[in-house]
Amino acid sequence: MPVTDDFEQFVDQVQVGLNQFVTGNAALFKEQWSHANDVTVFGGFGGYLRGWEQVGPGLDVASARFGIGHLTFELLALGMSGDLAYSVWLEKGEVRAVGREEPNPVELRVTHIYRREDGSWKVTHRHADVTTGKIEATAAPQQ
């Protein structure tokens, strides 16, 4: 199903929010989230958060780790069906952690799930992990 203009505009604003996030400012990205009990984050720092009571403060903690940063987004997939939608992209850029002198490159594989609530799109799930090279199918799994 094709995506609507309002959803595409929301995704663009999520990317703006993420660029602010990596400068230590979580405010816009937090506004873009649903505040429901079923929101979840599988973040780039590991672990998971569930429910707005964990996700909201967790976003503040994660963003506070950054001082300077910028991201670009390589969109891989975007779709919607009714009041649910998703995006899949690569986040690439540089971020400098608070207390560090040099920036570090970052490349994450990211999936977001969105829900329309009261006529507005909201993020309900973020899964981000570090991009790694492909592992050959014949390789033994690590334990």
Do residues 52 and 60 make contact, with C-beta atoms less than 8 angstroms apart? Answer: no
Do residues 65 and 95 make contact, with C-beta atoms less than 8 angstroms apart? Answer: no
Residue 89 class from Cβ within 10 Å (0-12 exposed, 13-18 middle, 19+ buried)? buried
Domain boundaries, the chain: 5-130
Q: What is the pLDDT of residues 81-92, one digit of tens each?
A: 999 999 999 999
Q: What is the pLDDT of residues 32-56, one digit of tens each?
A: 999 999 999 998 778 899 999 999 9
User: How far from chain centre, in Å, is Cα 2?
Assistant: 22
Instruction: Give the pLDDT confidence score for residue 134 in this predicted structure.
Output: 67
Architecture per CATH, 5-130: Roll (3.10)
Instruction: Give the pLDDT confidence score for residue 65 in this predicted structure.
Output: 92
pTM score:
0.89
> Could you give the CA distance from residue 9 to residue 133 in angstroms, rounded to a whole number?
32
